[in-house]
Homo-oligomer: A and B are copies of this chain.
Amino acid sequence: MSTSEHGKHTPSVTMRDVAKAAGVSVATVSHVVNDKAGARIGAEARRRVQEAVAALGYRQNALAKTLSQGTSRFIGLVADAIATTPFAGQIIHGAQDEAWKHGYVLLVANTDGNTAVENDAIAMMLEHQVHGILYSTWYHREIVVPEALHQTDAVLVDCFADGSGLRSVVPDEEQGGRTATEELLAAGHRRIAFINTTTPSPAQSGRLAGYRSALTAAGVGFDESLVFPSEPAQEGGYAATSRVLASGATAVFCHNDRVAMGLYDGLREHGRRIPEDIAVMGFDNQDVIAAHLRPPLSTVALPHYELGAAGVRVLLGIEEPPAPSLQLRVACPPIQRESI
């Protein structure tokens, strides 16, 4: 260790240093390090520059570059809850991968849903000259757009705000509900119960609509008495067990994996085997749960990674949500395991 403390702090080799070492001008260096198209640089000069770069360990200063070009390579991601759920992480992951792919870098901020923090976060991103902002929530819902968001290009991820004029990317709840139901139908079930959440949300109405449409399309018909309300957690699924059993259903589509997990418990207590006696379908594909229940739970995945990735694509103008909703709906694919 030559330096004191831990700081290997930037001896900062600049372009000028490289230029001097290579015996050329900074303009030339700039051209070779950026592989400028229109710039015809002599083989000899180019070689000398490259050698100098290697020798000195030169690295561009992305900030200076941004300043001089006037265009930044940052994309901001403000989330209401990075951590409350395993899901949020996937959104970050998808956004980061996609941003990276296009040469952008992600600036993240967590706000815990606090409006003041939210505004600060957005302000900070604006000061950093972000190209745009991804505003995401950890579960699909309608939001009221923070005022500050309008000062830049923004796209909503896993949330939406009708009439705001903002583009958004959300999971296709209806298609998801339909898919889940179709899986059960395909296994031969005709009497399919649906334990739905009592919380009003796009998930509640969308999944129900999907369930209904799949049933109808299969000529089975929708039976109101087969849908059971429940809080969207283990406790709710457990509590719904006897009613579901009493309905004579041979399969049950649960609003989410946690409900399914509770139902598993209830079913077991009633001595029912899954899937022999009754099939169970979840929703969300919450890994820690779904993949490890016994039997592993068949479910439908919430495409969080894709939401994040699609968010940056929309922001960069690579993809365009259809008018008039300006919502890009991304599919929720079925995950087959052993509960059907």
A247, CB-defined interface residue at 8 Å: no
A100 CB contacts on chain B under 8 angstroms: 109
Known contacts A97-B110, A106-B108, A292-B234, A127 near B59 by CB under 8 Å: yes
Q: Which residues of chain A (101-151) have a CB below 8 Å from chain B?
A: 105-110, 123-124, 126-129, 150-151
A261, CB-defined interface residue at 8 Å: yes
- The 8 A CB mask of A70-96 against B (1 = contact, 0 = none) is 101000000000110110111011001
Q: Is the CB of A8 within 8 A of B127?
A: no
Question: How many protomers of this protein does the assembly include?
Answer: 2
A288, CB-defined interface residue at 8 Å: yes
Q: Is the CB of A108 within 8 A of B109?
A: no
Q: Is the CB of A61 within 8 A of B105?
A: no
Q: Which residues of chain A (152-173) have a CB below 8 Å from chain B?
A: 152-153, 165, 167
Query: Which of B1, B70, B83, B150 is close to A8, meaning CB atoms less than 8 Å apart?
Result: B150
Question: Which of chain B's residues has its CB closest to A68's CB?
Answer: B67
A107 CB contacts on chain B under 8 angstroms: 105-107
Question: Nearest Cβ in chain B — how far from A153, in angstroms?
Answer: 5
Q: How far is the CA of A156 from the CA of B234 in the complex (A)?
A: 37
Leading 5 A-B pairs by shortest Cβ distance:
A86-B86, A89-B89, A83-B93, A234-B292, A62-B127
